[in-house]
Amino acid sequence: MHEGVVTKSTGSWYRVETPDRQQTDCKLRGKLKIAGSKATNPVAVGDRVAFSVSADDETGVIYDILERKNYIIRKATKLSRQTHVIAANIDQAVIIATLAYPRTSTGFIDRFLITCEAYSIPAVLVFNKMDLIQNDKDRERLAEIITIYTEAGYPCITVSATEAINLEAFDSLLKDKVSLLAGHSGVGKSALVNAIEPGLDLKVQTVSKAHKKGRHTTTFAEMFRLSNGGRIIDTPGIKEFGLVDFEDWELCHYFPEMRRYFNQCRYDNCTHFNEPGCRVKEEVVNGNIHPERYENYLGILLGGDTRGKQIKP
């Protein structure tokens, strides 16, 4: 029996790397697939697993998943009552966003940050394609977005993969850490990694001019080693981020700027929507909670994504 880390998942095969960097393509032991999990993928990139190797040393079988430090999940794309484990045992989530080509909405960012907060995973925002920010309106909007998230407690950096802007900061961000890279298709995840680690030569593709949206270049989640001691988990571009269900009253716990005030409301189970004596709403008026974050909170609260009990992976 051997132990290793899952570095690639195709859905049916898993590439496992041992501490001495030997790699083996493995399948799951049958019972492991149906061990009471609601996840579409019981094993994810980043998982530490126990596996055996066949007599010819070419393939293996995963027998057990070792205890996870953490994981990050979302609703499965089509199966709303099931979840998809994006990655496990990560040090930080790095959300790659762009103001345009494609546009990343703050609603998407907030849904991802909520899940990071729920699973105690530090998050950083990286705004790519700074070379395309060429007019005052776009510069003001980007500055506003950065202010929103900096004041909420999330580090933000601005970069350009194509023009080599601020790549030292991006490289330093990933140094000696296991980082999940996430974002829409076309935001430049692979291009950014190639810019600081050319030897990886990750596949990149241009954004559709007609739809201003990215095309998928990453098919499966995969972990790569960087020369700075870090490891990145590159994921397929995410169009939407479906939240795993939370109770209405606990949703604000995952907005750090709201978390400071929620226990000062008149009612313990206040949802900060239409209840009297709500301290959170007062702080929105006072300017201590940005209206856009509050509007996104209400959109999630009233959009049906917070109903029912939390689904476990």
Q: In this structure, are residues 120 and 210 in contact, taking their beta carbons and an 8 Å threshold?
A: no
The pTM (predicted TM-score) of the whole model is 0.86
Residue 186 has pLDDT above 70, yes or no: yes
pLDDT at 309 over 50: no
* 313: in domain: no
Residues 230 and 91 in one domain: yes
Q: Which of 43, 65, 87 is the last residue of a domain?
A: 65
Q: Do the domain assignments include residue 158? A: yes
Number of domains the chain is built from? 3
Same domain, 7 and 89: no
Q: Residue 256's pLDDT is what?
A: 95
Neighbours of 26 (CB within 10 A): 24
Range list of β-strands (E), 152-235: 156-158, 178-182, 222-225, 231-234
Last residue of a domain, one of 36, 65, 94: 65
Q: Which residues, 6 or more positions from 136, have their beta carbon under 8 angstroms from its beta carbon?
A: none
Whose CA is closest to 77, among 163, 4, 170, 11? 11
Range of the domain at 255: 248-302
Identify whether 311 is part of a domain.
Answer: no
CATH number, domain with residue 294: 1.10.40.50
Evaluate whether residue 222 is within a structural domain: yes
Domain membership of residue 28 (yes or no) is: yes
118 & 187 share domain = yes
Question: For 28-84, what is each residue's pLDDT tens digit?
Answer: 887 665 445 567 778 999 999 999 998 877 899 999 999 999 988 877 655 556 778
Q: What is the pLDDT of residue 56?
A: 77
Please check whether residues 207 and 93 belong to one and the same domain: yes
Residues 222 and 82 in one domain: yes
End-to-end Cα distance, the chain: 26
Residue 101 lies in a domain: yes
- Domain harbouring 38, CATH code: 2.40.50.140
Query: Over 90: is that where the pLDDT of 203 sits?
Result: no
CATH number (domain holding residue 116): 3.40.50.300
15 and 47 in a single domain? The answer is yes
Is the domain of 88 the same as that of 132?
yes
Residues 54 and 95 in one domain: no
Which of 65, 87, 109 is the last residue before a domain boundary?
A: 65
Residue 291 has pLDDT above 50, yes or no: yes
Domain identity same for 276 and 216: no
**What integer pLDDT is reported at residue 211 of this predicted model?**
40
CA dihedral 79, 80, 81, 87 (to 10 degrees): 80
Per residue in 245-274, pLDDT (tens digit) is 677 888 999 999 999 998 899 998 899 998
Domain-located, residue 170: yes
Same domain, 129 and 52: no
User: 279-286 vs 291-302: helix axis angle to the nearest 10?
Assistant: 140
In a domain, residue 55? The reply is yes
